[in-house]
Amino acid sequence: MPALTSKVEEFHLLGYDRATEEELWECVIANLKKGKEFVRIHHLVKAILTLKATDYMTWLTIGAYKGPNWFETEEEIKFGQN
């Protein structure tokens, strides 16, 4: 937890004010899932402390692209009608 708090504070200093500990945790876990099944604690802390802002923003962007498809339904959109 102290490593996540430190990284969030670093990102806030860099101008990424919307970064949260939960999002950073999800980003780090997503990156670690690509590798080994078992991760030692010092590798986890290293992954948190070496996370770059560009990697975090890339993860957020990919997550936004994988989000729900708003155009999936064929329901008609009515503009200006209540």
pLDDT digits (tens, 9 = 90+) for 52-76: 999 999 999 988 888 776 666 656 6
C-alpha distance from residue 50 to each of 31, 46, 74 (Å): 12, 6, 45
Collect all residues with Cβ–Cβ distance below 8 Å to 56 and sequence separation of at least 6.
Answer: 11, 16, 19, 23, 24, 27
Give the N- to C-terminal CA distance of the chain in Å, as an integer.
Answer: 48
Cα-based distances in Å from 62 to 1, 6, 11, 67, 79: 25, 24, 19, 9, 30
Report domain extents, the chain: 2-63
pLDDT at position 13:
93
Query: For the whole model, what pTM was predicted?
Result: 0.71
